[in-house]
Homo-oligomer: A and B are copies of this chain.
Amino acid sequence: MRPKNLEKEEAIRSIALQIIAEEGLENLSMQKLAKAANVSPRTIYIKYENKEDFLIKLFIDEVLGSYEKAVMEKFNPDMGFAEGVKKIWTNSFRYFKENRHYYVLMQYGKSSPLLNKAYQDRDIKEGDFFTPIHQFLQLHMKAGNIIKLPVAAYRAILFAPLFDLINEYFEHTTRPKQIITDKVLADSCEAVVNGLLV
């Protein structure tokens, strides 16, 4: 039996991310993708059921999955609060700096109903997607280290600014001066942490 050519699978996924980042999800077509990945359209349909299936797998496995791995590196739920949050910030920043194309699809996950639904389904089926972070937050809440809020609010306060700053970082890569320096990032992280400490 003829074995799968993994290079082709990889090409399909990475070129898709590139098109999405450059032209937007709304301009990604299967034919365009096949042509750009130097593959017949049918090849994509051997690997994925249909466009929806492809996009969901791209989003969940490729982007969310690899981000989760990267963000959890050297993180554990028993860390001190400031230290743990900082670790997540620096892991995330490094990850997206190295994988710029992933960032855009990640953002689409917050707007596109298709991807949003896929994310929620996955979250429900597998328990919380980022379980260690959830534990970490619960732990510090119960220990009385931080003010009492729903976990969703902790996530919003601690990590939403990070994504905004990463976006700002990318927008400045083409301009003469980068304003999102490591120091700005560290200071911002400290600020959101201080806001939650009791």
Give chain A's interface residues, CB within 8 Å of chain B.
Answer: 21-26, 104, 107-108, 110-114, 120, 147, 149-150, 152-153, 155-157, 160-165, 167-168, 171, 179-180, 184, 187-188, 191-196
Contact = CB atoms under 8 A, between A and B. Distances in A.
Number of copies: 2
A25 B112 contact: yes
Contacts of A107: 110-111
7 contacts: A25-B111, A150-B179, A152-B168, A153-B188, A155-B164, A156-B164, A192-B192
Contacts of A193: 195
B113 A188 contact: no
Nearest to A166: B156
Contacts of A191: 147, 149, 157, 195-196
A164 B158 CA distance: 11
Given A112-B25, A192-B195, A195-B192, A168 B147 contact: no
A184 B196 CA distance: 13
